[in-house]
Amino acid sequence: MRRLALLLGVVGAILGGFSSYLELQPVLRQRANHKRFEQLTNSPLIQQARTSCFGSVAQSEHGPWEDYQPQQKNLPPLPIGAKLVPPYCIGAISDPNEGDYTPSESNSSGIKTVHFQNREIQSIDTQDGQTFYPTPAPAWWMFLLIAIFPVVGFFIPWGVVRSIVWVGAGFAQSGK
């Protein structure tokens, strides 16, 4: 019976290792997304975006029918039919705490657009088509839990078989 307990314990450890691998994948993805978002938010381009979008908010002279307008710091208003040239910030006039910042095409951090909401970064679009959202770092106990899965996978079946054998042996000896 000891061999059966060890065999079931090894099978349980293998299943625990498989479940820990399945649990590890999203945790590593969350960690990578958190690190990439933090790296992007700490770039000088984001500081420039905050200054550009929230340093001074231009008010519309035409009325409430113009919901959005380009906001550029220390630049005259654009003539009718003119195109915006990056970098620029487009924000809602009704809510000066929101805006979308588009940097110039030649930025080293690969940022395409920064979306602000309540003066906080809501998301960052990169030039390679990815979108990063504020993602919290995974908790340290998740890594501990992942490491414990194979150990628990071994001890549960091993302990159950050992307990059944111990109880069975107690009944077999009392009958003699």
Confidence of residue 147 (pLDDT cuts 50, 70, 90): very high
Tokens found for residue 24: 């590890």
pLDDT of 34 higher than 90: yes
**The predicted structure's pLDDT at residue 58:** 43
Q: Identify the burial level of 175 via C-beta atoms within 10 angstroms of its C-beta, where 0-12 means exposed, 13-18 middle and 19 or more buried.
A: exposed
Portion of the chain with pLDDT greater than 90, in percent: 35
- For the chain, the structural domain boundaries read 2-25+138-174, 32-132
Please give the Cα distance from 50 to 52 (Å, whole number): 5
What's the rounded mean pLDDT across residues 68-96? 51
Q: Print the SS3 string covering 116-161.
A: EECCEEEEEEECCCCEECCCCCCCHHHHHHHHHHHHHHHHHHHHHH
**The predicted structure's pLDDT at residue 107:** 66
Considering the entire predicted model, what is its pTM?
0.65
87 prior amide bond cis, ω within 30: yes
Point out which residues pair with 102 in neighbouring strands.
88
pLDDT of 152 higher than 90: yes
CB count in 10 Å sphere of residue 117 = 13
Mean pLDDT, the chain, whole residue set: 77
